[in-house]
């Protein structure tokens, strides 16, 4: 009887352990969440497509960074144009852009490496995207493109610290050199004491006193 009860108890424990292992606990927890399908961005022709929302109002990119902007999918054509809004002419001056790798201005993606782009640091440009749909309808949107100078303050601190350490090293080397020269001079003077006095002024020459001659008188 005791043996039968023990077998039943072990069976219950095994069944309970198999049912409530780590994986089943994770599955029970994850079942509370649902994965929403990724919604594609609206394209020309879609009911929720808005041309003025193809781009953000402004893009800020560092002077040592890469800019990568994408237009909407399923367009018949793409055209990216960069202009100077502060042009002195009535029409914005078009800026020739060097794009990254084999990209062109007629692709969905606008990709350029700022150091090689031809864009000036500290300048604000206008970036305009023009697309057409399959029926030839044209849609346009513009945004600001701000190029700012990137400062690596951590690197600047390291460079300043390196300069400070280099100056300290030179100062200690100069001090050590002076101490070495002083020690060599003291050693030389100890070994050759006559050299120590060689630089002193020679003693003044003394002349013996002349005896005063007493004139003899004739008797």
Q: Are 97 and 142 in contact (CB under 8 A)?
A: no
CA distance 28 to 44: 42
d(CA 158, CA 154): 6
Q: What is the pLDDT along the chain (219 residues), one digit of tens a residue?
A: 555 555 555 555 555 555 556 667 667 666 766 666 666 678 998 999 999 999 999 999 999 999 999 999 999 999 999 999 876 666 788 999 999 999 999 999 999 999 999 999 999 999 999 999 999 999 999 999 999 998 877 776 777 777 888 888 888 888 888 888 888 888 888 878 766 555 555 555 555 555 555 555 554
pTM here is: 0.56
- Residue 5: predicted pLDDT: 55
Residues 6 or more apart whose Cβ sits within 8 Å of residue 144:
57, 58, 59, 124, 125, 126, 127
Q: Which residue has the tokens 């031809």?
A: 118
3 state SS of 75: coil
Query: Is the distance from CB of 108 to CB of 78 less than 8 angstroms?
Result: yes
């Amino acid at each position: 009887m005791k043996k039968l009860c023990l077998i039943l108890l072990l069976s219950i424990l095994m069944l309970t352990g198999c049912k409530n292992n780590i994986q089943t606990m994770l599955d029970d927890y994850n079942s509370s969440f649902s994965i929403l399908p990724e919604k594609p961005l609206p394209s020309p022709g879609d009911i929720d497509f808005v041309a003025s929302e193809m781009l953000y109002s402004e893009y800020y990119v560092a002077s040592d960074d890469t800019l990568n902007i994408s237009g909407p999918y399923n367009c018949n054509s793409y055209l990216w144009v960069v202009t100077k809004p502060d042009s002195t002419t009535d029409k914005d001056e078009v800026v020739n852009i060097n794009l990254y790798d084999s990209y062109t201005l007629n692709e969905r993606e606008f990709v350029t490496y700022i150091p090689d782009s031809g864009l000036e640091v500290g300048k604000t440009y206008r970036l305009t995207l023009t697309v057409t749909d399959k029926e030839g309808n044209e849609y346009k949107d513009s945004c600001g493109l701000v190029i700012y100078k990137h400062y690596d303050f951590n690197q600047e601190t390291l460079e300043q610290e390196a300069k400070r350490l280099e100056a300290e090293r030179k100062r200690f080397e100069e001090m050590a050199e002076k101490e070495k020269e002083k020690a060599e001079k003291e050693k030389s003077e100890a070994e050759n004491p006559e050299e120590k006095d060689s630089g002193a002024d020679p003693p003044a020459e003394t002349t013996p006193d002349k005896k005063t001659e007493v004139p003899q008188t004739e008797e």
